[in-house]
């Protein structure tokens, strides 16, 4: 009886630690995603602050597309640096360093002067700070998400993965809500001299930076280091392990899957859709933020359901289903939206039917990637598999420019969506089912 009581106590303690780790990973990913996608909505009405007044609209559009990719391109470098450190010195300290770094960078962005003060240097500094921030952002989920999965019971990994990844739509909702409020309080009328362009856009950046810094204290006191990481032998170079044997094949397979994920995500909420709602559908900036909020609210249950269902039918089957939905429902809804419907609620429904099929698959990504790599290189493998595939999709603006030579500019996004769905499908078919992988035993089976 005493032994049973001790085991029950250990199980309860383990479940509590798993919940703490998952909750902390959710909030970490929330502030991570908040800082990543802040410019996509907040700066959409204010890019003229960083550009000369006489710049051609085509050049301005390409310049604006560099701000988000700067962050996305910094993340792979961050995943390499911090993934290695996380595998060598621990998940917990690396999470704290990474979150502090991108919090400070975000605050500095909110302090930048505009083109009228510093000329082109203002835009260059914005892009540079976004790149540096991306490096730190690459470290946050590389450590915190792995810690959460290593603490989670096998039968709850799908649920915890969906919960952690839902930090993205929650972050997007907050960004859209803050932007809407800023636009209400600080109008854009008046162009460069308008209250929003002059200073209204800065407030969400300050909030994002402070949220990141405030995350550190509760994380430091409530979350323990991964017990799997503590026990595992760490002498080998993690990159040598990842890029050899079975692990390299695992990496290349998930690289194809995640390239598809990133293409469809950037085509939807992350990069193209907010601008399309203003330029093509002719919504006001305020209306655009409301539409994005509605679609992001619909995305929350999408993330959770994908994670939960994948625990039953498998990660591989779930990716295949979502790829098919992206290439059918998501693609056709995007086509209808680009026809510029005039009814606001129809636009909101179509935006939701784009975002949910195209991005809900991220709900299983945290558990899926962790299940593909052994403990001693899990942070490095997870981080690189999560971020390196974003490099090719990050240049979506240039792909659209090239495609526009053979088809209408407005329809080029459909090619990216279709390609993303195909890559996700092919990558999933190439890989095994992983939902029953024992992360503790994966040390011998995967390396």
Q: How far apart are CA 187 and CA 197, in angstroms?
A: 8
Number of H helices, E strands in the chain: 23, 0
What DSSP character marks residue 225? Answer: P
Q: Which residues of 254-274 are buried (b: 16+ CB within 10 A; e: fewer)?
A: bbbbbbbbbbbbbbbbbbbbb
Strands (E), 92-141: none
Residues 172, 292: contact at Cβ < 8 Å?
A: yes
Average pLDDT, the chain: 81
Q: Which of 55-69, 103-117, 239-253, 301-315 has the lowest mean pLDDT?
A: 55-69
Q: What is the CATH number of domain 19-224+238-445?
A: 1.20.1250.20
Pick from 369, 331, 374: nearest CA to 234:
374
Distance CA 426, CA 196 (A): 45
Q: Scanning the structure block, which residue is given the tokens 């969506």?
A: 417
CA distance 102 to 34: 11
Q: For 267-284, what is each residue's pLDDT tens digit?
A: 776 668 887 888 888 888
Using CA atoms, how far residue 26 sits from 105, 144, 169, 199, 219, in Å, is 21, 9, 11, 30, 11
Which tokens sit at 416? 């990216």
- Residue 79: the pLDDT is 76
Q: What is the Cα–Cα distance from 418 to 89, expressed in whole angstroms?
A: 41
Contact indicator for 142, 2 with CB cutoff of 8 Å: no
Interatomic CA distance for residues 69 and 134, integer angstroms: 9
* CB distance 384 to 80 below 8 Å: yes
Q: Token match 């550190």: residue?
A: 216
Tell me if residue 45 falls in helix, strand or coil. Answer: coil
How do residues 391-434 score in pLDDT, each as one tens digit?
888 788 788 889 989 999 889 999 999 999 999 999 999 999 99
Quick one: tokens of 166?
A: 């839902």
Residue 31, token pair as written in the block: 């502030």
Task: For Cα atoms 48, 210, 71, give the angle at the middle one, nearest 5 degrees.
Answer: 50
CA distances (Å), 217 to each of 24, 95, 213, 224, 306, in order? Answer: 11, 12, 8, 13, 31
Q: Write down the pLDDT at residue 146.
A: 75
d(C-alpha 75, C-alpha 55), whole Å: 30
pLDDT band at 224 (very low <50, low <70, confident <90, very high): low
Q: Any residues with CB less than 8 A from the CB of 439 and at least 6 apart, and which?
A: 149, 150, 154, 228, 370, 371, 375, 378
Residue 23 · residue 95 · CB < 8 Å: no
Q: How far apart are CA 198 and CA 175, in angstroms?
A: 19
228 confidence band (pLDDT: 50, 70, 90): low
Name the pTM for this structure: 0.76
Residue with tokens 């625990």: 311
**Residue at token pair 């240039």:** 398
Q: Where are the domains of the chain?
A: 19-224+238-445
Listed range (234-243, 342-351, 420-429) with the worst mean pLDDT: 234-243
pLDDT single digits (tens) 37-73: 787 778 877 777 777 776 655 555 556 666 767 777 7
- Using one digit for the tens of pLDDT, what is the confidence trace for 104-159? 998 998 898 887 888 888 888 888 888 898 888 777 666 667 777 877 888 889 98
Helical spans, DSSP H, in 186-272: 195, 202-222, 227-231, 238-242, 245-265
Length of the chain: 447
- The whole-angstrom distance between residue 444's C-alpha and the CA centroid of its chain comes to 31
What does the buried/exposed string (b/e) look like for 188-208 if buried means 16 or more CB atoms within 10 Å of the residue's CB?
beeeeebbbbeebbbbbbebb
3 state SS of 446: coil
Question: How far apart are the C-alpha atoms of 31 and 28, rounded to whole Å?
Answer: 5
């Amino acid at each position: 009886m005493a032994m049973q009581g001790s085991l029950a106590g250990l199980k309860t303690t383990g479940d509590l630690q798993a919940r703490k780790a998952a909750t902390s990973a959710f909030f970490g990913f929330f502030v991570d995603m908040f800082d990543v996608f802040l410019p996509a909505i907040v700066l959409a009405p204010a890019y003229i602050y960083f550009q000369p007044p006489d710049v051609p609209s085509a050049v301005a559009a390409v310049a604006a597309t560099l701000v988000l990719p700067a962050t996305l391109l910094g993340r792979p470098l961050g995943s390499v640096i911090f993934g290695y450190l996380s595998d060598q010195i621990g998940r917990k300290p690396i999470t704290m360093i990474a979150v502090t770094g991108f919090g400070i960078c975000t605050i500095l962005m909110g302090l930048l002067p505009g083109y009228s003060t510093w000329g082109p240097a203002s835009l260059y500094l914005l892009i540079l700070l976004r790149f540096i921030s991306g490096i730190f952002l690459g470290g946050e989920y590389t450590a915190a998400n792995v810690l959460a999965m290593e603490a989670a019971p096998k039968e709850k990994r799908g649920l915890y993965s969906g919960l952690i990844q839902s930090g993205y739509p929650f972050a997007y909702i907050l960004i859209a809500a803050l932007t809407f409020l800023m636009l209400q309080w600080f109008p854009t009328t008046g162009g460069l001299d308008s209250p929003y362009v002059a200073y209204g856009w800065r407030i969400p950046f300050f909030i994002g930076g402070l949220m990141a810094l405030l995350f550190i204290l509760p994380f430091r006191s409530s979350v323990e280091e991964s017990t799997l990481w503590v026990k595992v032998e760490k002498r080998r170079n993690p990159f040598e392990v990842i890029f050899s044997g079975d692990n390299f094949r695992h990496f290349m397979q998930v690289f194809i899957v995640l390239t598809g994920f990133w293409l469809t995500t950037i085509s939807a909420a992350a990069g193209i859709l907010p601008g399309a709602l203003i330029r093509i559908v002719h919504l006001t900036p305020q209306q655009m933020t409301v539409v994005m909020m509605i679609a992001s609210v619909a995305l929350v249950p999408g993330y959770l359901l994908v994670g939960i269902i994948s625990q039953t039918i498998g990660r591989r089957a779930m990716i295949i289903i979502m790829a098919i939905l992206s290439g059918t429902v998501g693609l056709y809804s995007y086509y209808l939206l680009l026809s510029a419907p005039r009814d606001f609620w129809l636009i909101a429904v179509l935006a939701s039917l784009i975002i949910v099929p195209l991005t809900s698959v991220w709900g299983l990504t945290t558990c899926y990637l962790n299940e593909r790599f052994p403990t001693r290189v899990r942070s490095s493998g997870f981080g690189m598999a999560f971020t390196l595939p974003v490099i090719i999709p990050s240049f979506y603006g240039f792909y659209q420019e090239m495609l526009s030579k053979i088809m209408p500019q407005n329809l080029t996004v459909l090619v990216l969506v279709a390609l993303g769905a195909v890559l996700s499908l092919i990558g999933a078919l190439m890989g095994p089912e992983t939902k029953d992988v024992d992360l503790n035993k994966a040390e011998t089976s995967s390396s």
